[in-house]
Each structure stands twice: as C-alpha cells, then as structure tokens.
C-alpha cells in the first residue's frame, strides 16, 4: 500500500494535468503485474519475441515508436534502444518508477510522450478520426509497435462512452475507434507490429469456461502470425475458484 501511494504521488507530480486522472489505472496495473509476475512471464516473453521478430530484418533503424509502452514489461526495451537511433515511448502515463529505471539505464535516445491514442476527443468534436495521424510528423520513422494497448483503448473508450451517456457519440464508438487504430497502423509507411489481447474467458478449476467476451467488439483483425494465452488473473488473483485468461495475437 505504501509503495502504491508513493508511486501514485510521484507519478501524478510528473504527469501533465490532462492525464493525471489515468495515473491510478497505471498504478493498479503496476501492482497487479507485480503480484502476477510469474503467471505473466510467458506472455511477456512471447510479446517481446514477436516484436524482435518483427524488427529483425529491418534495414533502416532510425526511429521506432512504442504505442502503449506502459510498464515496459512486454517490450524488448534494451533491444529497441540499442537498435534504433531514437526510441519514442507513447502512453497516457509514464510511471515514476519507469522514468527512474530509464534514467538509471542511461538510455539517452529514449523520448517519452504522454498522449491519448484512442481518438475519442476527435470523434466527439466531429473531426477526422486519425488517432495515429501524429506519427506522420515523426521524422525517419522505421518501426511502430502497438504493445498490448488495443484492448485497453476499447475498455477506456467504453468506460468514457458510458460515462458521457446520453450524448451525441455514435452507438458504434468503441468499434470505430478500435478499427481506426488498426487502420492507422496499416496506413503507416513503415514496418508495424500489432500485439493485442483479443478475448477473455472466465475458467473454473475443472477447465470449464463460464463466460467469454470479444475484446475487439467484432472488429476484423489483420492476420496473426503468432497466438498465445495470457492468464491475466490466475487462480487466487480475483477468485480462488476462477481464473481469467486472455487470448493474444501478434502480427507484423
Ligand atoms: C496492458 S498495458 C500495456 C503494457 C506495456 N506494453 C508493458 O510493456 O508493460 C496497456 C497500456 O496502454 C495504456 N493505454 C490505455 N489506453 C490508452 C490510450 N487511450 N492512449 C494511450 N495509452 C493508453 C495504459 O496506460 C497501459 O500502459
């Protein structure tokens, strides 16, 4: 509890006013990741492997961008920082502990950007929805990774849509913004790598599935090269009798 409070206070102090309300989600994720480290290890290794494979044959390695860099647990940060001239990490929030760790590692070519990648504000304002349009102004862009972010965009957008209701937001807001992220990646003139959890299942101790949901809300996904399971809430995390397992895909 004390570690969480310190992480919260230090991160809030370093985070722009517009993004401070998201700090508690990042701190909650950090706490859970700490508790579930062993259960998440295979997922984190698979995510890193996919990203390494996606960049392995790139001839030019000038600028790389990681979307949803978060805790840097499922991103091969050392390889990216060593391989590219500039590495840009984009997230709503960069935890104080992550900032400190990057400093301690001495990565001089890493830049942090706080940004809402959902496109919700543009849709609400009736503007063109191009949540990744800002990448057009990043010079020498050679590689973009979407790092276990897309399902979280869907969750955040759904939460905001419900909180705003009744509003003029279209009924398919969540689907549109998930699709806009996928389209935005495929429109980029460089190598991209999409790693995302796409569904979840609540499973009991006998292996029986009690509940399932599509985290992509029916939006068509590009073809996956690799798939795996991620025990987001192993037995004992949310319940003694049930675990929550997400299906993850990676494509590039
Ligand atoms: C499951 S975590 C990704 C973990 C991260 N790749 C890592 O290596 O630890 C999802 C991340 O997406 C970020 N996120 C969620 N919605 C976002 C949004 N609309 N814009 C930018 N980042 C967002 C969260 O802050 C969180 O860090």
pLDDT tens-place string over residues 171-184: 999 999 999 999 99
pLDDT tens profile 104-131 = 999 999 999 999 999 999 999 999 999 9
Percent of the chain with pLDDT over 90: 100
Closest CA to 173 of 128, 123, 207: 123
Q: What is the CATH classification number for the domain harbouring 80? A: 3.40.50
SS3 246: strand
In a domain, 131, yes or no: yes
Q: Is 70 in the pocket of ligand 1 (CB under 6 A)?
A: yes
pLDDT tens profile 15-56 = 999 999 999 999 999 999 999 999 999 999 999 999 999 999
In a domain, 147, yes or no: yes
In a domain, 20, yes or no: no
CA 67 – ligand 1 centroid, Å: 8
Please report which confidence band the pLDDT of residue 1 belongs to, taking 50, 70 and 90 as the band edges: confident
The total of structural domains in the chain comes to 1
Alpha carbon 73 to chain centroid, angstroms = 11
> pTM higher than 0.85, yes or no?
yes
Pocket test for ligand 1, best of 91, 215, 248 (most atoms within 8 A of CB): 91
Containing domain of residue 141, as a range?
38-251
Phi-psi region of 51 (alpha: psi -120 to 50; beta: other; left: phi over 0): alpha
Q: Is 73 in the pocket of ligand 1 (CB under 6 A)?
A: yes
Spatial distance between the Cα atoms of 157 and 177, rounded to a whole number of angstroms: 8
Q: Is 147 in the pocket of ligand 1 (CB under 6 A)?
A: yes
pLDDT tens profile 191-216 = 999 999 999 999 999 999 999 999 99
Pocket test for ligand 1, best of 26, 133, 149, 153 (most atoms within 8 A of CB): 149
Spatial distance between the Cα atoms of 27 and 1, rounded to a whole number of angstroms: 11
In a domain, 24, yes or no: no
DSSP code of residue 250: E
CA 185 – ligand 1 centroid, Å: 16
In a domain, 172, yes or no: yes
**The predicted structure's pLDDT at residue 229:** 98
In a domain, 5, yes or no: no
Q: Is 219 in the pocket of ligand 1 (CB under 6 A)?
A: no
- Residues in Cβ contact with 26 at an 8 Å cutoff, skipping those fewer than 6 apart: 11, 70, 71, 91, 92, 93, 95
Spatial distance between the Cα atoms of 134 and 69, rounded to a whole number of angstroms: 17
In a domain, 112, yes or no: yes
Q: Is 154 in the pocket of ligand 1 (CB under 6 A)?
A: no
- Residues in Cβ contact with 77 at an 8 Å cutoff, skipping those fewer than 6 apart: 87, 107
Residue 144: beta bridge partners?
A: 65, 192
CA 89 – ligand 1 centroid, Å: 11
CA 167 – ligand 1 centroid, Å: 26
The tally of CA atoms less than 13 A away on the side-chain side of residue 52 is 13
Give yes or no for a contact between 168 and 30, defined as CB atoms under 8 angstroms apart. no
In a domain, 11, yes or no: no
Nearest atom within ligand 1 for CA of residue 22: 25
């Amino acid at each position: 509890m004390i570690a969480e409070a310190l992480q919260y206070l230090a991160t809030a102090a370093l985070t722009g006013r517009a993004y401070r309300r998201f700090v508690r989600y990042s701190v909650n994720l950090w706490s859970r990741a700490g508790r579930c480290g062993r259960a998440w290890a295979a997922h984190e290794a698979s995510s890193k492997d996919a990203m390494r494979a996606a960049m392995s044959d790139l001839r030019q390695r000038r600028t790389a961008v990681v979307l949803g860099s978060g805790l840097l647990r499922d991103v091969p940060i050392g390889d990216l920082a060593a391989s590219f001239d500039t590495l840009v990490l984009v997230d709503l929030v960069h935890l104080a502990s992550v900032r400190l760790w990057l400093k301690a590692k001495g990565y001089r070519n890493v830049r942090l950007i706080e940004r809402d990648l959902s496109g919700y504000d543009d849709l609400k304002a009736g503007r063109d929805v191009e949540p990744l349009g800002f990448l057009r102004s990043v010079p020498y862009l050679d590689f973009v990774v979407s790092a276990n972010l897309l399902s979280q965009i869907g969750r955040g957008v759904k939460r905001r849509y419900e909180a705003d209701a009744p509003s003029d937001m279209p009924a398919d807001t969540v689907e549109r913004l998930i699709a806009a992220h996928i389209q935005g990646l495929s429109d980029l003139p460089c190598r991209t790598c999409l790693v995302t959890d796409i569904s979840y299942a609540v499973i009991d101790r006998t292996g029986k599935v009690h509940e399932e949901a599509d985290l992509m809300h029916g939006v068509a996904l590009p073809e996956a090269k690799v798939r795996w399971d991620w025990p987001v809430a192993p037995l004992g995390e949310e319940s003694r009798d049930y675990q929550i397992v997400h299906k993850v895909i990676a494509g590039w």
